[in-house]
Every structure is written in C-alpha cells, then in structure tokens.
Amino acid sequence: GWDNSYLCDVLQAHPTRFAGVCLVDPGDPRAPQELARWNRAGCQGLRINLIAQRDVDWLLAAGMRPVWSQAIALNMSLSLQMLPAHAAVVAELAAGCAELTIIIDYLGPDAFHVAAGRKAVRALARRPNTMYKVLALGMDSHEPHPYRDLWPLYETAAEAFGAERLLFGTDFPHVYLTGSYGAGAAWLGELPFLDDAERQMISDTNPRRLWRFPEERG
C-alpha cells in the first residue's frame, strides 16, 4: 500500500548505502503532507505507476499542483511507470514543472517492439528535466540474454537523452525471472552503442548525483 515504513527503516539503518523512493496516494488530499512525512524519514523521490491507466490527464489537473510543488520544494524526483501513449501528457507535465526531475522508470513491455516506444522516448527527451532508466528487462525480451531486441529502444534513448540523463537498473527482483543478478548487473556492458565512459556515467555518476550519496550525504 502506501506505507513506506520498512523502506525508511532501512534508509535510517544504512544512510550511505540506499536511496529511497516512496509511494504516496496522488488522489489523497493530504498527499503533499504525506510526501513531506516520508521525505523527513529519508525518501528522496516519489514513484507513481500509470501502467494500468488509459487516461492520465489528471496529472495536469490543478489539484495535483500542490503535490508537484511539494516535490520541487523538497528536491524530490518523480519516477513514472507509464506507457508510450502517456508521453504527451508527461511531456506537458515536465514543461509545466521545469524544476521537477521526472524519471521515465518504465515504458511497458510493448515499447521495445513497436515504433510508438521510440517515438515516446524522443518526445520525452525534448524536456531537459526528464531522465530515462535503462533496465535489464529480460522478461520483456523475445530473445535470450543479452536481449538484443531491447537494444534499439535503448539506443534511441542514448541518442535522444544523452548519457548524462540516463540511469541503469537491474530490475531487481524480476531479474531473477530470466537469469542471475550478476548477469543483470553486468548487462549494461553488453550494449554496443555505449562506451566505457558512458556506462560509468549511467551506472554510477548520474545516480550518485541524483540521489546525493555517498559523498554528498552526511
């Protein structure tokens, strides 16, 4: 549900090892207060899952402005699990909240296999406050490791966003559905359109800057 207590316990126990992204009910009138509550407990971001929703225009409603304003005031990012069909609305949100860092956490399984996925990536990349996550999503691939059918979308992302606005993730724990954690963690090295400096930026420099750890955190 919306209880992030376990996450925050871990953050307090290991403040230099983990960064926290919390869940808050965006339809709750107290959402800004809840966001502040979890931020005080150590969370640095908010995640909203839009995958099952056809209409996401509510992201642009006046009633959501206090949530986005609170996130900006607290220097919290917004991670979105979304579909290519949501790209226009999310791009408009990014344009209207230029101080809010929006992370495209996931574009759904079909994005890798249809032109709409690459079109959405290009549209979202036009907003300078957006970032995109490169995930080792073996379960969305129609091929065995190293999942070459995922590469075209990520190559488009690398061209459109640039390495300085990409993040890497293993998709833990779902990575275990198709292989080992070690293989997932090393998967970025399989992508032939990235050089070593870009891989370092995507897997280390960018998340270190975004989540402000460990040097920048006390």
Q: Judge contact between 168 and 202, C-beta under 8 A.
A: yes
Q: Helix, strand, or coil here: 103? A: strand
pLDDT digits (tens, 9 = 90+) for 40-89: 999 999 999 999 999 999 999 999 999 999 999 999 999 999 999 999 99
Closest residue by Cα to residue 120 from 94, 157, 152, 150 = 157
* CA 127 to the chain's CA centroid: 15
Task: Supply the pTM of this predicted model.
Answer: 0.95
What are the tens digits of pLDDT across the range 133-167?
A: 999 999 999 999 999 999 999 999 999 999 999 99
Contact indicator for 168, 133 with CB cutoff of 8 Å? yes
Which residue, 109, 105, 111, 52, is CA-closest to 84?
111
Q: Which residues contact 179 (CB under 8 A, 6 or more apart)?
A: 138, 145
Residue 187 buriedness (CB in 10 A; 0-12 / 13-18 / 19+): buried
Burial of 174 (0-12, 13-18, 19+ CB in 10 A): middle
* Strand (E) or helix (H) holding 108: none
103, 105, 107, 108 alpha-carbon torsion, rounded to 10° = -160
d(CA 181, CA 93): 34
Q: Is 90 exceeded by the pLDDT of residue 6? A: yes
Query: Which position has the token pair 């640095």?
Result: 44
> What is each CA distance from 134 to 33, 42, 51, 144, in whole angstroms?
31, 25, 17, 18
Q: What is the pLDDT of residue 214?
A: 60
Parallel/antiparallel/unpaired status of strands 20-22 and 166-169: unpaired
H or E segment and range at residue 71: helix 65-73
- For residue range 169-211, what is the model confidence (pLDDT) as tens digits? 999 999 999 999 999 999 999 999 999 999 999 999 999 999 9
